[in-house]
A and B are shown apart, each in its own frame.
Chain A
Amino acid sequence: MNSLLVWLTGFYCLGIILASLKLINFWLAILVGIFIYFVVSKLQTKSFIFLSAVLFLTVLLGFFNLKNAYRLPKNHINNFVIYKDNQLYSLNGYVDSQPELKNNSLSFIFRLQSAQADKLRFKSCGKVLVKINFNQALSYGTNLTLIGKLSRPYGYNRASYSYKEYLKRLDIYLVMSIKDVRQVIIQPGFGGSKLIAGSFWLRSKMEEAIYRALPELPASLLAAMVLGQKRNVPWLINDLMIKSGTVHILVVSGFNVSIVAFIINLLFKILRIPRKQRLILAIICLLIYCAVTGASNPVVRATVMGVVFLSAYFFKRDFDIYNSLALSALFILIIAPRQFFDIGFQLSFISVWAIIYLYPKLKAFFHLEDYKNKIWKFIGEGFLVSLSAWLGTLWIIAFNFRIIAPITIIANILIVPLATVITLSGFTLVVFGLIHPYLASLFSAPVALFINLLLSINTAIIKLPFAYIRY
């Protein structure tokens, strides 16, 4: 049982699936759980029974965790609002995300602490998506009183994707649209976490360094690749990259996390910091980077895997990649079990699993080790990594996005090495840009050139016959 965590994660996911199918009665599951718990406590000396019971209890853990996630607290704001509610609400709370300004509209997540309807004031909780029709200087943690109507997001469907479901997975059930300055009252004090505020501050400084050094278009792409800030990436580029199957380079992933780990480790090595302290500092820096980039699923996955890898190195233990992948999935699904149904979560884990499972098998099948020419070997390896990831994620992409893109394999061979160079140069630009803008300008032209090359290759590839099939 070397891959115990893989089994535990698998059974935990099974519990989530069973809960979503609503086939099992909640109270019956509790009774079965209690019964198994008592049976296993009596028969714990018998290995097989103990292991089977543990796995079964893990199924129940997944089951109850998803059920709990769907059940809202009694004072949740969602319980007070009826469909097509015309009631004016006064909400007290704080800004719980970095406000995003796009097309002269500001949007952010508002965490509620109390609410007032008519003259009735009550303690409440929950998150509300706020859209403000004008620009207002707000930042994470600002205490606010918002006055307006609450509505439910539309559940329109595009393929299997629903905006309403997407917001639900973020624990957002209500939206407030604000059109008048008088509807927003800034209150004194700070409501959020200082640690998160610090991360957002660092991110804004890094973004500033990028936008100061580069024109808007390359800057938007670099901000996406290095900091995971995709909001300014033009629609056309995003669409072209979906078609070529290279959109994954526009999000922060394990690749970025490994670069950060490498840079930090190297920096501390140059500073002659001893090995153990170096590893601890590298873990801390990885956690900071995770917070700075918004802790999305791929970053959390890569950070947990990175921390497990560094910890194994620290404690001089063997590193099992399957166990670390399973641990990161379990970590995310315990905190947010609804993420199991998120396409981003599925793609992130299945692509990594496909690469670590299929790639060695394909490599052996094509006898890649026998290649003597280094260039051919490098191209062959790139081809097989792309092929493994494509085969693993093909069915999810085909089902959700209604697109099959055979060009993905070739596109990734050309674009991934280029994206590696851009990310490395981008990190260099950001680090030096934080020190002084002139230092960043030393690296801005090569970064822009690489980005230009990447976009040109991507645009050319898409024009090839049968590059992608949309249905």
Chain B
Amino acid sequence: MLNFTTEERKVALFLLGLAFCGLILNNLIKVNARVEKLVYPQVELAKLNLNKISLSEISKVKGVSLKLGERIIEYRSLHKEFRFLEELKEVKGIGRLRYERLKEVFFI
């Protein structure tokens, strides 16, 4: 019984520890919504906020030239803010394909 080698013991401990953490975290997520934010990466880490981004930042985005960036910022100033991501299509120079790419980069 339990005639494990050192390596096998380490693996068993790793698996048990991981499963143990998983169960505790799953439980805490169900109890407290804040824990969910702590555990799962939020959209801010992976996308840029279209309503807060500056011109210098937007022009560094792949597929957005300085001119297009200016038009996006101009549209945002004119309408106070973007309410839906689809509004990007109304900016001159953003067609279906470019919109499909940009919606991967921005969030509102």
Contact = CB atoms under 8 A, between A and B. Distances in A.
A442 B23 contact: yes
Interface string B54-78: 0000000110000000000000000
B47 A443 contact: no
A215 B40 CA distance: 8
Contacts, number: 79
Given A270-B8, A424-B14, A442-B22, A448 B105 contact: no
A234 B47 contact: yes
Nearest to A456: B45
Interface in A214-245: 215, 217-218, 234-237, 239
Most chain A beta-carbon contacts within 10 A, residue among B14, B18, B105: B18
A266 B41 CA distance: 32
A303 B69 CA distance: 45
Contacts of B7: 266, 269
B21 interface: yes
A429 B91 CA distance: 43
A235 B104 contact: yes
A442 B22 CA distance: 5
A449 interface: yes
Given A269-B5, A455-B41, A456-B45, A425 B18 contact: yes
B97 to A, nearest CB: 7
A234 B41 contact: no
A265 to B, nearest CB: 9
B19 interface: yes
Interface string B36-55: 00111101011110000000
A234 B104 CA distance: 7
A442 B26 CA distance: 8
Interface string B81-97: 00000000000000001
Interface in A427-456: 428, 441-446, 448-449, 451-452, 455-456
Nearest to B101: A103
Contacts of B14: 424, 428
Given A218-B40, A445-B29, A234 B46 contact: yes
B22 A445 contact: yes
Interface in A86-119: 103-105
Contacts of B43: 217
A459 interface: yes
Interface string B1-38: 00001011001001100110111011001000000001
Interface in A259-318: 266, 269-270
B45 A237 contact: yes
Give the dominant DSSP class at B's interface.
helix
Given A425-B18, A445-B22, A237 B40 contact: no
In this complex, the interface size class of chain B, counting residues with CB under 8 Å from chain A, is 20 to 34
A270 B39 CA distance: 33
A446 B45 contact: no
Contacts of A449: 25, 38-39
A445 B8 contact: no
A18 to B, nearest CB: 37
A455 B48 CA distance: 14
A443 B22 contact: yes
Contact of B19 (A103, A443, A452): A443
Contacts of B11: 266
Contacts of B45: 217, 237, 452, 455-456, 459
A235 B48 CA distance: 10
Nearest to A221: B41
Given A445-B39, A449-B39, A217 B15 contact: no
Contacts of B62: 235, 239
Contact of A446 (B22, B38, B47): B22
Most chain B beta-carbon contacts within 10 A, residue among A215, A236, A424, A425: A236
B41 A218 contact: yes
5 contacts: A236-B48, A266-B11, A424-B14, A452-B40, A452-B41
Interface of B: 5, 7-8, 11, 14-15, 18-19, 21-23, 25-26, 29, 38-41, 43, 45-48, 61-62, 97, 100-101, 104-105
Given A103-B100, A217-B40, A269-B8, 20 more contacts: A104-B100, A105-B97, A215-B40, A218-B41, A235-B62, A236-B48, A237-B45, A237-B46, A239-B62, A266-B7, A266-B8, A428-B18, A441-B22, A441-B26, A443-B22, A446-B21, A446-B22, A451-B41, A452-B40, A455-B46
Interface of A: 103-105, 215, 217-218, 234-237, 239, 266, 269-270, 424-425, 428, 441-446, 448-449, 451-452, 455-456, 459
In the A-B complex, list the 5 residue pairs whose CB atoms are closest, starting with the nearest: A103-B100, A445-B25, A234-B46, A452-B41, A446-B21
